[in-house]
Amino acid sequence: MDLQPLSVGDSERTILFFVLLGIFAYQGFRRGLMAETAKLVLIGIGYALNQPTLAGNVAIRIINTAYAVVHGMLGGARAAGGVNAAVQTQLIKPENSSIALFLMFLIVIGLGYAVSARLQRANPLAGMVVGLLNGFLLSYLFLPALPDQVPVNLPGSSDAVSGLTQSPAGLGLTGVQVLLAPFYLLYQQVDTWIVPITIVLIVLIAMRNIKS
Amino acid sequence: MGPLEILWACIIVFFVFFALVRGYAQELGVTTLIFAALFIITQFGEKYVPAILVLIVQRTGSAALSPRTQEHILSIFFSLFFIIVVFASYAGETFTLKGRSKTSGPAALVLNILVGLLNGYLVAGTLWYFQDVYEYPVVDLHLLQLPLSDFAETAANFLPPYVVPPLFWAGMVMLLLLFRVKD
């Protein structure tokens, strides 16, 4: 059987966009204004960090300088020796900068969620509006990054099945795409390191949910 | 035997069932021992066991083993060792993390499935690795036919010991043990 990657059309993407807005608005309503504002600020910081020209390059310079200082204090600079020491003590090398910035982006957004979970719940309606804005921003940032095709060849997929994407049944496919998209995006950035990262995440989440 | 990836998927599904029945707190105990076994095998076993095997053959005065025979022995040895560790982690008085896991609700379901998938991936993936790294000794026993499918070729690049450095396993064991003793 000829395996064809399944594609996802613009209509599904638009529906997904509105579904996400709805989810974020509901979440904003539940969490309140302060939590959503904190999230909005950190999404903004994360976005700025992910853009080299805005704050990304500065962040990398700060991290590399701090690393070089620590490395020097530990005697590593002398061991590395001479003129090339600065280059060798770069924690984030230029070829890895886009991966590092993307990870920083994700970490800051995660931080936004962690901070917002600890803030007082008040002003649900205003929270809903800011939540809507957060949903819009995150959709704006992440939806264009979604792969146009489901990142795996599903067994049994064919041209006939691909035709489903033009029908409401394609929404199910979009669901699969959304579930796999974070892994796909992460895989594009960190390659096989996605495996240890996923293992750590599963173990940490499970440990956090064990009641003493 | 059918495609290797089908067997692999079946093993993973079984581990998901185990996790659904036992709960993720108990399954994390199994995960801890799997991490420990993986660390021992990848950090020390693969380095020293082949050398010890050669030494034993030399000491016993036997004829030198052919490379293929060595691959058979090493594959069986590591697979058995790993299966025994996994079996021991389920049998009798088991190693579990302190505390109670959520027993109902969607969060518990998702966590059980996630930890089951993780254990299944680690067990099935590691057993597959012992075949892959030693050039599929089971082919000689007519239990598998090569070549692998395209999917299996791709999946084989993601087997746990290929994509995770040995010290990572040690770090995870330490993390889980610290969690167990913190109270």
Average pLDDT estimate for B15-38: 90
As given in the structure block, the two tokens for residue A208 are: 């956090």
Which residue among A196, A200, A211 places its CB closest to the CB of B100? Answer: A211
* Domain region containing B113: 4-182
Chains A and B form CB pairs within 8 A to the count of 61
B111, A193: Cβ pair inside 8 Å?
Answer: no
Is residue A124 over pLDDT 70? yes
Percent of chain A at pLDDT exceeding 70: 63
| pLDDT score recorded for residue B91 | 83
pLDDT at B125 over 90: yes
Q: Do B24 and A193 touch (CB under 8 A)?
A: no
Give the mean model confidence (pLDDT) for residues B87-113.
Answer: 78
Question: Can you spell out the DSSP letters for A7-67?
Answer: B--HHHHHHHHHHHHHHHHHHHHHH-HHHHHHHHHHHHHHHHHHSIIIIIHHHHHHHHHHH
Among A168, A172, A145, residue whose Cα is nearest residue A157:
A172
Number of structural domains (chain B) is 1
- Upper half-sphere CA count for residue B163 (Cβ side, 13 Å): 22
Q: What is the pLDDT of residues B50-91, one digit of tens each?
A: 889 888 888 887 777 788 888 899 999 999 999 999 999 888
Distance of alpha carbon B181 from alpha carbon B169, whole angstroms: 18
What is the band of B117 on the pLDDT scale with cuts at 50, 70, 90? very high
Whether the per-residue pLDDT at A49 is higher than 80: the answer is yes
Under the banding of pLDDT at 50, 70 and 90, the label for residue A85 is: low
Coarse DSSP helix, strand, coil percentages of chain A, rounded to the nearest 5 percent: 75, 0, 20
Beta-carbon count within 10 A of A13 CB: 16
**Selected residue of A184, A207, A211, A212 to mutate for chain B interface (largest B Cβ count, 10 A):** A207
C-alpha B105: how far from chain center: 30
At A91-113, the pLDDT tens digits run 777 777 777 787 888 888 888 88
Query: Residue A165: is its pLDDT beyond 60?
Result: no
**DSSP one-letter code for B101:** E
Tell me the backbone φ, ψ of residue B3, rounded to 5 degrees: -55, 140
The residue ranking higher by pLDDT, A211 or A130, is A130
